[in-house]
Amino acid sequence: MMSRWIVPQDDTSTMFIEFRQVSETEGVTPPWWADGTVMLPGQLAADSYEAGQRQPGDYEAQVSQRPVAIHGLEHLGTTDCGVTMYRNQIRRGIRAVQAGHDPAGLCRDPAAIIRTYCNDTVVRMPPAADPAADRRLMRETGRQLAERYLSGTTELAAGGGFVGQKAIEISREFDTSFASAP
């Protein structure tokens, strides 16, 4: 497992901060993973321009956007709706601060525990009849998954694969042909 933060240093430079989980048991962790000097493929520039063009990685995708990306030159697709939603959230937060208010979600209580959750769950879901209905369906499905995710914290801690099973249940509600989990 790895956690990585990419922290802005100025308008055109970032710093990578990375933590990797490495097993103390001999032979469990591949040597290249345990070596902190080795980056994952695609994270640094390719050996040559041609190699980067033939097999582009994350690095090529990032630097090809220019030092400061011009959003008007992008060609966002339907799978980029999260990018658009995130940018709108940032804009609302900036406007709130400019107006003298706190951005949504800011917690100033130093004693508060802010629970965070992360997963890579994919739910198979056919599109709804129209874009508005599709947005409602995605929002409701996300809420259902989050509720089921949060209700299973004790089972999840025991390593029972609770969240994955709940995602399969939600998927089955949409597609009865969804393959069973192994």
Per-residue pLDDT of 53-62, as tens digits, reads: 888 888 888 8
Least confident window among 29-33, 83-87, 118-122, 141-145: 118-122
Q: What is the pLDDT of residues 36-53, one digit of tens each?
A: 777 776 777 888 999 888
Residue 111 is predicted with a pLDDT of: 84
Residue 57 is predicted with a pLDDT of: 85
Single-letter amino acid, residue 63: V
Instruction: Give the residue, 160 or 13, on which the prediction is more confident.
Output: 13
DSSP 8-state symbol, 65: T
Q: What is the mean pLDDT of residues 5-17?
A: 85
State yes or no: pLDDT of 178 exceeds 50: no
State yes or no: pLDDT of 165 exceeds 80: no
Angle at 40 between CA 85 and CA 86, to 5 degrees: 5
φ, ψ dihedrals at 14, nearest 5°: -130, 165
Q: What is the mean pLDDT of residues 71-96?
A: 91
Residue 73, SS3 per DSSP:
helix
Instruction: Give the residue, 166 or 178, on which the prediction is more confident.
Output: 166
